[in-house]
Amino acid sequence: MATWADTKGFIAANYRYEEVNDTLLKLVFDTGGLRSQLVFVAWDKNSEGVEWIRVNSPIGPVGEVDIARAATRLGDMIVGGIVVIGDYAYVTNAVPLLNLDANELVEPMVRVLSIADQLEGELLGRDQV
């Protein structure tokens, strides 16, 4: 995958998704135990114009998430960081789009959604989003 169009085509061929806008896709994954987890896959450019794919999965509302505890838990994880977008805290990861292979998208996406679901369960005790 070397373009956003290629990435969207790969996602369309392998997952159910909703196109939020030209640069943002929303996917919902069943994580078992009657739980589900949202994942947002976004196209973006950095200040040098290099294209990136950003993967965000919500933990929960900022006012209900212990951000310090979530960040501490992420210290044990191989991927992910914490960002706040609007009123929600998310687990996030980003990868450069140039020369992106399917596994370089899928593996971080699965890790991010799994970590977000785990943190959501630990910190909120319920399936929030």
> Would you tell me which CATH number, out of the four given (3.30.1460.10, 2.40.420.20, 3.30.70.1880, 3.90.550.10), belongs to the domain 4-124?
3.30.1460.10
> Inter-axis angle of helices 102-124 and 4-14, to 10 degrees?
70
Tell me the C-alpha distance between 117 and 129, whole Å: 9
Give the pLDDT score at 65: 92
- The band of 34, judged by pLDDT with boundaries at 50, 70 and 90, is confident
Tell me the C-alpha distance between 114 and 74, whole Å: 12
Predicted confidence (pLDDT) at residue 129 exceeds the cutoff of 80: no
Tell me the C-alpha distance between 53 and 93, whole Å: 9
The 8-class DSSP code of residue 119 comes to H
pLDDT digits 0-9 by tens, 89-109:
999 999 999 888 888 888 988
Q: What is the mean pLDDT of residues 74-85?
A: 88
Of 76, 77, 24, 31, the residue nearest 54 (C-alpha):
24
Per-domain residue ranges for the chain? 4-124
